[in-house]
Structure 1
Amino acid sequence: MERSDFDSPDVNSPNAARMYDYFLGGAANFAVDRIAAEQALAVTPEIGRFARANRSFLGRLVAHLCDLGIDQFLDLGSGVPTVGNVHQIAHRHDPHARVAYVDVEPVAVSHARSLLDGQPHVTITQADIRSPEAVLSAPGVAGLMDFTRPVAVLAVAILHFVPDDDDPASLVASYHRACAPGSYLGMSHASPVTMTAEQVAGGREVYRSTTTPITPRSREAIMAMLTGWQLLDPGLVPLDQWRPDTTGEPVANGYGALAYLP
């Protein structure tokens, strides 16, 4: 796909999902997203490293969940489709694996619908993950997922876009209550692991101009969101340290974890 400006009167502000797509070299972004992304990179190139490390983490996470026997995935805040999506990885292990994508961003959902047309066992739902009841009752989720069986809930690079006022820990707890024993939660979250205070402030300022401001959090604050889940090895660790399949990756400013529901 060639990059275009997707001539649309509805898009006047940059959006984190499309900026993330730009960081990964994708085409589903607007000029306004590219400008904001370059501004963010000028403040700290660590933002681009986080995007790449996070995508690698997602691939390792889904492959490991497949090895654990999971065949249902609820991907919250799935973003713009790009290479290495959840269903592509899952279907290499199990062609019958079910994947329900959920995102609130119209461009992400539109591209997903186009790419997923004719794909069995995969849906895309436009919904705000901050409304768990609406997400869980949506036809694309309720009609595909069997919550009486184990499911993997993926909250990968999404909860840092949930402000403190919306209580992300309570949000995670709502999805926890919907899951059967034997389910898993895969999470990654931005955190200023190596960034200076000035870099953090500058990055947050750029994202304040978007429809999705960012809230990087400490490891302790991220850990609080995992209440009720049993962390699996290696625990909540920097993204490049979670079951790495290569050596020499740069440290990414974020943490990742996989947790189990006993």
Structure 2
Amino acid sequence: MDGIDQAIYEIAEMEEPVTVRGLFYRVMSRGLVPKSEQGYSVIQRRALKMRRAGELPYGWITDGSRLRLKPRTFSNAQAALENTAQMYRRDLWINQGRHVEVWTEKDAIRGVVSPVTARYDVPLMISRGFSSETFLYETAEDINDEGNPAVIYQLGDHDPSGVAAWDDIRRKLREFVDDDIDLTFERIAVTPEQITELDLPTRPTKQSDTRAKKFIGDSVEVDAIPSSTLRDLVRDSIEKWIDRGLLSITKVAERSERTILARIAEGWEDLSDSEEYGG
């Protein structure tokens, strides 16, 4: 168990944040646990024990399948203004002439790649397998409203269901998006080439899936790709469409506008003091 715990710590430190299933694949690749649900359960239990003992930082493990929803509130108006000044971001794509999105079929991957998509102001779409018509229609309407050529990237499992879900997303988005808007689709993980190049662990394809007859080879979960590699794939894909010169102009404007908002927040404090004392 000491060897497993050490591997969990080393992998989580290197890839943070990482999913528990991602941990399992990396530890399993070291030959420390079997490639089975029993092996996954061992990693799940050991990681939880280490976290509770303070031996593994909670922030190193991500779980995108649970949500906490609460309206953002503030103690007063000045606090709201100060927060706005600190968090203000100008639309990074406003002058890039391109719409870029990243899709993933799994909630758990959200915490792995969201630091990259958030940095580059790119929507991260969680489809949870086959996406609903409503979700696809609303996404298409956003693309139509912008009117720019759109690039849709996807991260998904290499299995009959994962491939079929991606095909379904592409087909329906093409139906909903206006004909005069150019659409580019690219699956950046998991691809057959990556399975070989990265020596990814496979699992037998479920024959109970009716789509398995048209699927060739074993299946691979997107969690099998190291978290750092997934982030690099997403980062490189997004950066292909960024004009650095235009981005610099946007960043200069953003800093200037943030300064203005900060001054407004400071002025609000003076105004509040004046009103409090009848000024």
Q: TM-score range with shorter-chain normalisation?
A: 0.3 to 0.5
Larger radius of gyration: 2
Under a length normalisation based on structure 2, what TM-score does the superposition of the two structures give? 0.33
Q: Which has the higher contact order (CA 8 A, sep 6+)?
A: 2
Under a length normalisation based on structure 1, what TM-score does the superposition of the two structures give? 0.34
